[in-house]
Chains A and B, each alone.
Chain A
Amino acid sequence: DAGVIQSPRHEVTEMGQEVTLRCKPISGHNSLFWYRQTMMRGLELLIYFNNNVPIDDSGMPEDRFSAKMPNASFSTLKIQPSEPRDSAVYFCASSSRTGDYGYTFGSGTRLTVV
């Protein structure tokens, strides 16, 4: 298995532009999580899905952030409009409810908003 795949690996965009981050979870995993990592706040859970349904989006910072999971193999996190304070590394992780609940993380997308 190729693991959790995120794209792009790096994204530099101008303030006000729309940014879309993509994630392909591990096949067979039915839970998907989006985290944001910054120096000041560490790893923050933004939103998670179970069986493609959003369960808890209380970590999404503002209405500018939205996430979708149209099918079991794909999810997007969109920021519109982007702001410099959104600069961070965004991680996607997936897990299975059977057995252990350990997550498998992707390599992350480093977002820089200038």
Chain B
Amino acid sequence: GESVGLHLPTLSVQEGDNSIINCAYSNSASDYFIWYKQESGKGPQFIIDIRSNMDKRQGQRVTVLLNKTVKHLSLQIAATQPGDSAVYFCAENPGGYNKLIFGAGTRLAVHP
């Protein structure tokens, strides 16, 4: 799948550095959030999720932080690798049935 292209914000990092991708969500009633990674020609792939009763969750090399006060979500990637180059989307569940609303996405470019 071709990701949203020309107007995406881009984060450029050096291989080995840490990356932080930010997302502002819209609905204060949202209680579940997910980060997805989309590589060129593929569908979005689940990375990590967090519920609104938490403010931090860690996975393998990734950490998601949730600030409900300002409706902000961030994804931290430790020791970024070339394989991390992709478009990253945050998604929120505004409640009820488990439908997800996606943000516009951020392109992460990792340079050797």
Interface residues of chain A, those whose CB is within 8 Å of chain B, are 4, 31, 33, 35, 37-40, 42-43, 45, 48, 50, 55-56, 89, 91, 93, 95, 97, 100-108, 110
* Chain B interface extent, by class: 20 to 34
Partner of B1, one of A33, A37, A95, A100: A37
Does A107 lie within 8 Å of B99, measured CB to CB? no
Q: Is the CB of A89 within 8 A of B98?
A: no
What is the CB-to-nearest-CB distance from A38 to chain B, in angstroms, rounded to a whole number?
Answer: 8
**CB <8 Å contact, B99 and A33:** yes
Can you list 27 A-B contacts with CB-CB less than 8 angstroms, sorted by A residue number?
A31-B97, A33-B99, A37-B1, A38-B4, A39-B6, A39-B7, A40-B7, A42-B4, A42-B103, A45-B99, A45-B100, A45-B102, A55-B99, A89-B2, A91-B44, A93-B43, A95-B98, A100-B49, A101-B93, A101-B98, A102-B34, A102-B49, A103-B34, A103-B46, A107-B1, A107-B41, A110-B1
* Residue of A with least CB distance to B43: A105
Decide yes or no whether B62 CB sits under 8 A from chain A.
Answer: no
Q: Secondary structure at chain B's binding surface: helix, strand, loop or mixed?
A: loop
What does the 1/0 interface line of B1-27 toward A look like (CB < 8 Å)?
Answer: 111111100000000000000000000
Given A37-B1, A37-B3, A42-B104, also A50-B43 (CB < 8 A)? no
The reply to whether A105 and B99 form a contact with Cβ atoms under 8 Å apart is no
Count A-B pairs with CB separation below 8 Å. 74
User: Can you name the residue of chain A whose Cβ is closest to the Cβ of B102?
Assistant: A43
How far apart are the CA atoms of A55 and B98 in the complex, in Å?
11
When the two chains form their complex, are residues B45 and A105 in contact, meaning their CB atoms are under 8 A apart? yes
* Chain A residues within 8 Å of B41, by CB: 107
11 more contacts with CB within 8 A, not counting A42-B4, A101-B100, A102-B46, are A31-B98, A39-B5, A42-B103, A43-B89, A48-B99, A55-B99, A95-B98, A97-B98, A101-B32, A103-B44, A107-B42
B4, B45, B103: most-surrounded residue (chain A CB, <10 A) = B4
Q: Report the nearest A residue to B98, measured CB to CB.
A: A101
B72-94 interface code vs A (CB 8 A; 1 in, 0 out): 00000000000000000100010
Question: Which one of B45, B46, B101 contacts A45 once the chains associate, using CB atoms below 8 Å?
Answer: B101
